[in-house]
Amino acid sequence: MKDKVPGVFKRFAGALAPARDKGTAMVWSPAGGNYPRLMHFDSRELARQPGLYLLWHLGVRPQWLRAGFSTDLGAAVRLLAATPEIVDFAPNDGPFLSWSFCATEGASGLVNFLTGRLKPVLQHQALACDLPIDPAVPAVPCALPAGTKDISKH
C-alpha cells in the first residue's frame, strides 16, 4: 500500500508556499565558479559569440559593476578591460567576469532583470560593445552565476 501522507503534506505545503519562478535557464561560464579576472582574461575563445556578461569585484565592499549583452563577447571583453571606470576597480579584488552564450532576441529582458536585481554601479555608462537594451521590455528572470549572490544587499 502506498503511503499517502507525503502527498497530502506536499499538497498542503504547496498551498501555503507560492510556486517559485525558476526563470530562464542560464549556463554561466566558466563552469565551476572559478571566474577569471577581466584584466588577465584571454578573450579569443569568446570572439564573435553573442551573449550576456556580468562584472563584479570582491573588495572591502563587494559590488556588481555591470551587466550587458554583446553580439561579440570577445570584443566586449577587450573594450571592458580598457574602460577606465572598470580598470579603476582592479585594486579592489577584481573585476571578475562571467558570461552566458545566448541569442539576441531575449537580451533586453535578461539584462533588465539582472540590472534591476543587482543594481550594478557602472550600468549608467553607454559602451559601444553593448547591444542597446530596451528598458520597456519586461524583465526575464534568470539565475546568477554559480557561487555568486546579490552582493549589493550586503
Its pTM stands at 0.81
Q: Cis before residue 30, ω within 30 degrees of 0?
A: yes
The 10s digit of each residue's pLDDT in 89-139 is: 999 888 999 999 999 999 999 999 999 999 999 999 899 999 999 999 999
- Please tell me which of 31-45, 70-84, 92-106 the model is most confident about, judged by mean pLDDT: 70-84
Radius of gyration, CA atoms only, the chain:
18
Give me the pLDDT at residue 153, please: 52
CA distance 64 to 68: 12
Give me the pLDDT at residue 1, please: 44
> Structural domains in the chain?
24-126 (3.40.1440.10)
Q: How confident is the model at residue 7 (pLDDT cuts 50, 70, 90)?
A: very low
Strands in 63-70's sheet, in edge-to-edge order, are: 63-70, 51-57, 96-101
Across the range 27-56, mean pLDDT stands at 94
The 10s digit of each residue's pLDDT in 120-134 is: 999 998 999 999 999
In the chain, the amino acid numbered 124 is H
Task: Tally Cβ neighbours within 10 Å of residue 39.
Answer: 15
Q: Out of 60-74, 90-104, 138-152, pick the least confident.
A: 138-152
Q: How confident is the model at residue 23 (pLDDT cuts 50, 70, 90)?
A: low
Give me the pLDDT at residue 21, please: 44
Across the range 78-99, mean pLDDT stands at 94
Across the range 28-39, mean pLDDT stands at 91
CA distance 54 to 73: 11
How is the chain classified by DSSP, letter by letter? ----HHHHHHHHHHHHSPPP---B----BSGGG-PPBGGG--GGGGTT--EEEEEEE-SSS-EEEEEEEES-HHHHHHHHHT-HHHHTTGGGT--EEEEEE--GGGHHHHHHHHHHHH--TTTTS--TTSPP--TTSPP--BPPPTT---GGG-
